[in-house]
Amino acid sequence: MLASTTELIRYLRRPAEQQEDAVRQALVNAVWLGGSADDARALLAEYRQFPFAATHACLLPVFERHGDASFARVLTEACCPAGELLPDAPAEVLSLVARLGDSGIKPLLVRYAFGTGVGYNVAKHAALGLLHVDCRDLEQQIRAAIEATYRKNLFPEFIPALVCKLPDRAELLARLYQSGTEYCSTDCNAGILLGFSLCGAEGVSYFKQALLSPAWEAHGSGSGTRWYAYLGMQNLGLTFQELYAEIQRLGSSQEQRYAVGVLLALLRLKAGPYSYTDRAPEPFAELYPALFGWESPEHRNNLQDLAATFGREDEADELEALMQLRLQQEVLQLDCTRRLNIGLC
C-alpha cells in the first residue's frame, strides 16, 4: 500500500475544519495515479464508515479507477440500502456503481433518469449510469425522451447522452445538433456533446462543429460543458495537436479568436492537477513542443503568438508555465514507475 494512502486515511480522520481541500486532493491524486486495488480497498473501508461526509466524496474517483464489482456492492449497501439513494448520499454513487459492473442498480437508474421531481445531480448520474448497462429494452423510452428535448431551452441535461445506446441514430444526431445550435441553453448542452462523442464516426463531425461554434460555448463552465468537451475529445481520440492545427487553418479571424479561447480553456483542464482522466494518449513530452516549440532559433510562431493576436498572451504564458510543470512531473513519474518495476523506488 502506498505511503500516500496511509497519509490520506490519517488526514481524513482529522476534524473537517482542520482539513484543506488542496492537501486532501493532492493525496487523492497520488493514490489515483499510483495506487492499486489494495489502496482502494483500504480507502473503501474508511469511506464505509463516513459515506455521507463531504470530505470523503473525493475518494470516489479512486474507487472508479481501482475498484471492481465488489466495491459496487459496498457502495450500494452504504448509499442505497433500501433501493433508494439516501438523501445525504452523493449522487455520483449512481453512475459509479453502474460503471463498476453492478447491473442491479439499473431499475433505480431508470426511475431517476426518466422520472420527474428528481434533483439535477441525481438525474444526471442516473443517466450517466445507464451508459454502462444494457439498454436494449429501453430503446423506445430513450428515443422518446431524446425527442422530447428538441427545440427546448432546458431539459434533463444528460438524457441526450443516451443517443449512443440506440442502433439507428443518424436522424437523432442531426436533430440534436440543430436543436443544440438553435434552441438549447449553453447551460444545458453537456449531455449532447457527450452523446456525440460516444457515437464514434457518426458523431465526430457534430462534435467538432459544436466544439468550435460560439452557439455551443463548449468552453463554458456553467454546468460542466467544458469538462464534457474535454472528455469528448478523449472519447473520440481527438488530440490537442489536431485541434490546434485545425484552428490554425481557420480562414476567419473572428472564428479563430473564438476557437483560441476554447483551446486555452480545454488545455487548462488537460494541464490541471486533478483531471482524473488518463493522459497517456497525448503525453506532455509531445504536446508541449507542438504548442510552444519554436519554428526556428529566430522565429517562434507558436501558440503564444496566435494567442497574442487576440489579446490572450498572458493566458498562454500561464498555460506554458503550467505545462512545463506537468512535463517535469510526467518525466519523474515515468522514472519512478521504471524504478518500481525493478524494486528501486
Interval 81-125: pLDDT, tens: 989 999 999 999 999 999 999 999 999 999 999 999 899 999 999
Among the candidates 205, 238, 271, a domain finishes at: 238
In a domain, 158, yes or no: yes
Count of structural domains, the chain: 2
In a domain, 91, yes or no: no
In a domain, 17, yes or no: no
Among the candidates 238, 267, 296, a domain finishes at: 238
Please tell me what DSSP assigns to residue 186: T
Residue of 42, 58, 45, 47 lying closest to 92 (CA atoms): 58
**Residues of the chain with confidence (pLDDT) below 70:** 273-280, 335-345
In a domain, 52, yes or no: no
The whole-number pLDDT of residue 118 equals: 93
The whole-number pLDDT of residue 342 equals: 54
The whole-number pLDDT of residue 298 equals: 83
DSSP string, 262-314: HHHHHHHHHHSTT--S--TTS-HHHHHHHHH--SBTTB--SHHHHHHHTT-HH
Residue listed under C-alpha cell 523506488: 345
The whole-number pLDDT of residue 300 equals: 87
Give pLDDT tens digits for 291-324.
999 888 888 889 999 999 999 999 999 999 999 9
DSSP string, 78-109: HH-TTSS--TTS-THHHHHHHHTT-GGGHHHH
Q: Are residues 270 and 327 in the same domain?
A: yes
Amino acid at residue number 44: L
Q: Are residues 172 and 189 in the same domain?
A: yes
The whole-number pLDDT of residue 8 equals: 97
The whole-number pLDDT of residue 335 equals: 64
CA dihedral 296, 298, 304, 306 (to 10 degrees): -80
In a domain, 186, yes or no: yes
Residue listed under C-alpha cell 427545440: 151
Q: What per-residue string of b and e applies to 84-96 under the rule 16 or more CB within 10 Å gives b?
A: ebeeebbbbbbbb
47 to 13, 14, 63, 94: CA distances (angstroms):
11, 14, 10, 16
Q: Are residues 199 and 250 in the same domain?
A: no
* Four-residue CA torsion sign, 273, 274, 277, 278: positive
Q: Are residues 274 and 221 in the same domain?
A: no
Cα 179–165–276 angle (5° rounding)? 90
Q: Is 20 exposed, middle or buried (0-12, 13-18, 19+ CB in 10 A)?
A: exposed
CA-to-CA distance for 302 and 314, rounded, in angstroms?
14
Residue 321's CB is within 10 A of a number of other CB atoms, namely 10
Q: Are residues 273 and 310 in the same domain?
A: yes
Among the candidates 238, 262, 285, a domain finishes at: 238
User: What domain range is 215 assigned to?
Assistant: 137-238
- For 188, the 3-state DSSP assignment is coil
Q: Are residues 317 and 275 in the same domain?
A: yes
Q: Are residues 256 and 210 in the same domain?
A: no
Enumerate residues 6+ apart whose C-beta is below 8 A from 221: none
